[in-house]
Structure 1
Amino acid sequence: MQMSTIHFRAAVICCVLLPFLFPVMAAAEVLKPYKDDLFSDQAILESRDDGDFTRIDYQEMRDINGRDSIPERRVKDRYVSLKVRRQQDNQTLDLSSGPLDVARVGHDSGQAFTIIFIHGRGGDRRLGMNDVTFGGNFNRLKNLAVENGGTYYAPSIAAFDVSGVAATAALIDYAARNSGGRPVVLACASMGSFICWGISRDAATVAKLSGMAVLGGAPDPDLPKSAAAKARLPIWFTHGSNDSVYKSDDVTALYSRLRKGGNPVRLTVYETGSHGTPVRMTDWRQVLSWLLTAR
């Protein structure tokens, strides 16, 4: 059977482009399950906005005391797999902004996607690498990254000001270049959200991101006017309804403004949850799968 000129050209184009498209396509696939029966089985009390807003049943006795062998200090063994530590390393990267201490899980280059976690006040790179606190949720994040060909960075941010924003922007650029331009997700917890909001005003860095996750963060009233909003950068907020540091109602109002403006945004509220609840309860597989595909 003879091949037409059109079919021949199409075949040539596919052969040329497929090797370059495949890594991006692979990153866009939903992440493979990892201990979903322990982390993803969260009862939904309320769902609206086509599922973009969800209110989740959170109970301290079940989700802390029932999950930890030592409440808030050590999770039960079945929630973690420590084999991932074999792919973990501490580095000091020489970035355009200066040296930056990071902990890394996964390859330093060629990764299918990158996740960067910014700690809150008083933290450093060790917080995002702690396998046994926060209900084992960071251990799951590390394993999700490695099992899906990604890389996870937890940097030590010295200050939540312009210098911290510059260091994070340099790390995002480093990850994007080393991966060949594959997706980068920035996740910020608590006061670390100031770093996310600083990045949101930097159009050049926003262009290198696939999305943002904000866990128990401060609401930024200027976010709807930011470069991130103009670029329709996907953002997923997770927050405790009883957060005494940053009010849940203020985050909900910000979510509503962004959604009304046509931005891809989601909000998960943990009913009765406190300021630290999102770090423990955020379903990383669900959040990352959406952020890697929503843009």
Structure 2
Amino acid sequence: MMRALLTGNGPSAKLIFPMLPRLITTALCGFAVANALAEPPPATIDLSKFPAAAVEDVVVPVPSEIFIVLDKLGTPNWKGELRDNLGTNTGNRAQIALLLGTVIADGFIAVEAEDSEKVKQIGQEVLVLADGINVRKAVIARSKSITDKAEAKDWRAVRSELDGALQDVRGAMQELGDDELAQLVSLGGWIRGTQVLTSIVGQNYSPAGAELLNQPELLNYFARRIDEMRSKNLKKEELVVKVRKLLRDIKPIIGKETITVENVQKVNKLTTDTVNAITSEDQ
């Protein structure tokens, strides 16, 4: 079974895979399929380019590399994974941060679906949510650029702007001393990304696809980030408690020798319930 290794300590730690199926190794070694096929696969994979990464405290959810892998495993129905309702801003900062992560993840999904209207909607929603956690100024330019690039159907540029929007949010939140809240943005993106991943793999199951869920060290990392939160009030927030329980519940499911289709469906149910809680106005 594929195992990930955590190298280094603290926020600069990186997760790598010592062994990967050739299909996944090749797909993840570059941003574009052409580059991935033109070069030999590396001995290790930096998980900073996986659905989420324990690098510098904040994780970019669902980057392009995961989509390359899924495209090679089948023909995902990306439009079918898009949500009509992106969620409600309740005014609770923990909920807004988690919701922002899920919305940015949806941006990557909309790009794969090549749905320019949905991308533009997401660009505006990112701006609204950023305003709710006092980092609107950091993403105004990105939001406009996302809309413009989506209008032009320049999907590679939209991906880049989505990546940049998250990094801008991260920097602004750190300047405000809200690094723990920034981690919730990362978690929201990872949860939504895992929901979509399990949906797609569950519809077209293969052991190679299910193996993408084998991220125990990443689960441990996220759990530690919550457990070590300095803000007791944030740590006790209902949604934060729910996310911590999600991490605890998922860990034994993916820790098996083979991740079966039933286990993929279990993780999908758990992440779907959590996404629904994040997007609900009843917070």
Kindly indicate which of the two structures has a greater share of residues assigned to helix: 2
TM-score with structure 2 setting the length: 0.29
In terms of fraction of residues, the more strand-rich structure is 1
Bigger Rg over Cα: 1
